[in-house]
Amino acid sequence: MRRVVLIDTDTASDDAVALIMALRSPLVEVAAITVVAGNVPLEQATRNALFTAELCGSKVPVFAGAAKPLQRELEPATWFHGLDGLGDCGYAPVRRIAEKTHAAEAIVACVHENPGLEVITLGPLTNLALALALDPSIVGKIGRCVVMGGAPCCEGNVTPAAEFNIWVDPEAARAVLLSGLGIELVGWQLSRWDAVVSAPEIEAILALGTPFAEFAIRCNGRAREAYLVQTAEHGISLPDPVAMSVLLQPQLVLEASKHFVEIETASALTRGMTVVDRLNNSGDSRNTKLWQPARAQMQPASVVWKLDVAGWKQLLLNSLA
């Protein structure tokens, strides 16, 4: 039986590849796509989600949500993904239009309609934070929540301390992490180094000869250039598809552990930092795998530390074939 999934996204180039992976997977049924401002403004992110669904021949409903963070102005990543988020290649939906319901309301409704719903967030956590504020009872009804976000062990990709999705709306991220929802945190670092899609692997994807493969590489052309400037690493880094691989095939996680994760919201220097006490230096009882029922409302996050890279790349190849 296919698992039911809701995808929340700020659709840019790597998000689009993750959407293809889910929409073409035999493992899951995508009940809804909700869109949030992040990589690009909300209207553009919504258009990109609609285009990607249309490319896949999917009729999944798409809901636009928050146009800005909870307490801040939006600072997009168009410098990385292009002004349109898809490498400035001119992609636009032909037939698909978004639903009228706000994404936060759609999340609440989808959770109630699909017991055990699995949620994956690929952008800032604004929509999910709003949904939890609307109806806190959904915490106990969501089966899994995979969050692409954070840099729990290393430097960030937007500041020395923070990953973009968490940095854009740290107040929303903090609200979600403290909501009691069981989070599987897939940090930016898991898409780096040997997880980067190399030049020979890019050629292998293009050799598939499918519209999905061509789109996946072409729309990430600008991101490939920006990633080289940012990290001096050659290839295409795909953090959102890496997170999607964890959702689709949990067995790809080789190492994870549970921790109480805090998000910095006040400091200009470390705004959006995912603070993970991996060594339990604080001696905080919340930072243990043995969770006290009295503290159940402050659920620890399962932080993913190591991924089966060969397995994730094979899943990507299969999704684009």
Nearest by Cα to 279 from 259, 295, 263: 259
Structural tokens at position 76: 């997009």
pLDDT at position 287: 62
Q: What is the pTM of this model?
A: 0.95
H-only helix segments in 135-196: 164-168, 170-177
Please give the span between the terminal C-alpha atoms of the chain, in angstroms, as a whole number.
23
Give me the residues paired with residue 263 across strands.
274
Helix (H/G/I), strand (E/B), else coil: 72: coil
In b/e form, how buried is each residue of 87-116, taking b as 16+ CB within 10 angstroms?
Answer: beeebebeebebeebbbbbbbbbbbeebee
Helices (H), the chain: 13-23, 42-55, 78-81, 103-113, 126-134, 164-168, 170-177, 199-206, 211-218, 221-231, 239-248, 309-320
Task: Return the pLDDT at 291.
Answer: 36
Cα 157 from Cα 51, distance rounded (Å): 27
| C-alpha atoms less than 13 angstroms from C-alpha of 305 in its C-beta half-sphere | 8
CB 125 within 8 A of CB 274: no
Residue type, 128: L
How far apart (Å, rounded) are the C-alpha atoms in residues 165 and 219?
20
pLDDT at 126: 98
What are the residue ranges in the chain where pLDDT is below 50? 290-298
Whose structure tokens read 């399962």?
302
- Per-residue confidence (pLDDT) for residue 297, from 0 to 100: 43
pLDDT value, residue 301: 86
d(CA 316, CA 310): 10
Residue given tokens 């190591």 in the structure block: 306
Cα 147 from chain centroid (whole Å): 5
Q: What domains can be seen in the chain, in order of their start residue?
A: 3-320 (3.90.245.10)
SS3 144: strand
What's phi and psi for 219, nearest 5 deg? -70, -15
Tokens of residue 219, six digits: 């729309």
Q: Is residue 183 a contact partner of residue 301, using CB atoms and an 8 Å limit?
A: yes
